[in-house]
Amino acid sequence: MTDTELLQADTVVIGAGIVGLAVARQLAIEGSEVLVLEANGHFGEGLSSRNSEVIHAGIYYPENSAKARLCVRGRHLLYDYCFQRHIAHRKTGKWIVARGPAQQEKLSDIGQQAERNGVALRSVGRESLQAALPGVVADEALYSPETGIVDSHGVMLALLGDLEDYGGQLACYAPVESATTRGGQHCLRVGGQAPCDLIARRVVNAAGLDAVPLAFGWEGFPRTAVPQQWLARGVYFSYSGRHPFSSLVYPVPEPGGLGVHLTLDLAGQARFGPDVQWIERADFSVDPGRALAFADSISCWWPGLDATRLQPAYAGIRPKLAGPDGGFADFRIAGEAEHGIPGLVHLFGIESPGLTACLAIAEEVAAKFSD
C-alpha cells in the first residue's frame, strides 16, 4: 500500500454493465453492503450498450452447459422482471431459416438441441413460411415463440434503482488498476478522480472485456486459473425506412456467432448483424465497406434487400474463451470451489446470452458466496 487514502468495503463488484448490476442487486437484496466500481462515467457504457438487445430462448447451447441453463432460467426471470417493473420489451418471436439440404440438416440439429434444452420450437415448411414471411426465400424454418427484444438501458436503470434501494452504491470514473489478495482480504488499487486503496471482504470481477486481463495481473490469484481470451468483433448495420418484418429472422449459425441476422428495436427499425471478425485488441470501429458482405449474406434469404439502405450502426466485441477453431466455450463463473480463494468470484467469457442470463448469473454468483 502507498500513502493514498485507504478505504474498506464489504462487497465490491467491478463493472457496471448489465451483468455487474444484476449481481450487485442480488447481493444487496441478500443483505450485503455493495459498492460497484465502474471505470467509465456512466453504467452500461461497455459491452452492454453494444448488443442486439435480444432476449434469447436458449436454443443453441449444449445441454447442461451454463449457457443453456442460465439462458433458459434467465429468460423467465427477465421477462417477469420487465413485466413487474414496466420495462419496455416485446416477444417478437424468431425464425431460423434454412435453404438447401446442408442448411436443413443443420436446422434439424438445432431443433434437436433446443428440445434437449427444454425450449419449444415449431417446424415450418416452405409454403407456410412464405405465408408468414413473404419475401424470404427458404426451404424450411424453425419458429421460436419465446424470443423477444428488450430495452437494455431500461433494465440497467431498474437494476441500479433496486441496488440503491437496498443500500448499494455505484462509483463511476473508478477504474480498478490492480488487485491483490492477501491474508483473506482483497485489496484493490482504484484510480480515476478519487484514487484510493480499497480493502474488501468479497469481490466480484464482472469487468467484461477486462475481466481476464484484471485476473491475470491479480497478485495472489493463480495464473493457471485464468483462461485465455479471444476477441470477436461483430458489427451491425441499420436498415433505413420500411421493411416487411415484425419478427426476428436468423440464418443457421456460423462459426463464432449466429450469422448475420435481422433484429428489430422497440420502435420497429430493422438492423442486421453481427458478423464475426477475430481481432487482437479492442476496436469498436465499423468499416462502411462491410455493407457489401452484409448485402451478399442477407440477400441469400431476403432477395428484396435494398443494399443502399444499409447504414453503419455500431460494433460489439465478444470476450470468448475459445478462438476461431476452438468450438463451444461456456460461461466460466469461478468461485472458491474453482480456484481456492474465498470471497472472490471471477466472471470469464460472459458474452451472448449474457443479457438474457443476467439475473440467473446473479443468482449463481450469490450461490458461490454461500457455498
The hierarchical CATH code for the domain 93-145+229-320 is 3.30.9.10
For the chain, the first-to-last Cα distance in angstroms comes to: 31
> In the predicted model, what is the mean pLDDT of residues 125-154?
95
> In the predicted model, what is the mean pLDDT of residues 329-357?
97
> In the predicted model, what is the mean pLDDT of residues 311-333?
95
Q: Phi, psi (5° rounding) for residue 44?
A: 65, 25
- In the chain, the largest separation of any two C-alpha atoms, in whole Å, equals 73
pLDDT, position 116: 97
Contact between 286 and 315 (Cβ < 8 Å): yes
Region(s) of the chain under CATH 3.50.50.60: 5-50+153-228+328-370
Determine the Cα–Cα distance for residues 148 and 352; give it in Å rounded to an integer.
Answer: 14
pLDDT, position 1: 43
> In the predicted model, what is the mean pLDDT of residues 71-79?
98
Determine the Cα–Cα distance for residues 94 and 98; give it in Å rounded to an integer.
Answer: 13
Between strands 34-37 and 5-14, the pairing is parallel
> In the predicted model, what is the mean pLDDT of residues 73-96?
98
pLDDT, position 325: 87
Confidence band, pLDDT 50/70/90 cuts, at residue 254? low
Q: What is the pLDDT of residues 98-116, one digit of tens each?
A: 999 999 999 999 999 999 9
pLDDT, position 118: 97
Angle (deg, nearest 10), helices 354-370 and 152-165: 30
Confidence band, pLDDT 50/70/90 cuts, at residue 259? low
Region(s) of the chain under CATH 3.30.9.10: 93-145+229-320
pLDDT, position 257: 54
Q: What is the pLDDT of residues 143-174, one digit of tens each?
A: 999 999 999 999 999 999 999 999 999 999 99
pLDDT, position 208: 97
In the chain, what percentage of residues exceed pLDDT 70? 97
| CB neighbour list of residue 274: distance below 8 Å, 6 or more residues apart | 52, 233, 234, 235, 236, 257, 260, 315, 316
**Considering only 86-95, 305-314, 322-331, 354-363, which range has the smallest mean pLDDT?**
322-331
Does position 221 have pLDDT exceeding 70, yes or no?
Answer: yes
Q: What is the pLDDT of residues 12-53, one digit of tens each?
A: 999 999 999 999 999 999 999 999 999 999 999 999 999 999
Size of the chain in residues:
371
CATH architecture for the domain at 5-50+153-228+328-370: 3-Layer(bba) Sandwich (3.50)
Determine the Cα–Cα distance for residues 100 and 164; give it in Å rounded to an integer.
Answer: 53
* Residue 124 or 3, more confident: 124
DSSP assignment of 246-282, as one string? SSEEEES-BTTBS-SEEEE-TT--EEEE---EEESS-
The two counts, helices (H) then strands (E), for the chain are 9, 20
Round the average pLDDT of the chain to a whole number and report it.
95
How much is the pTM?
0.96
> In the predicted model, what is the mean pLDDT of residues 48-66?
96
CA 169 to chain centre: 23
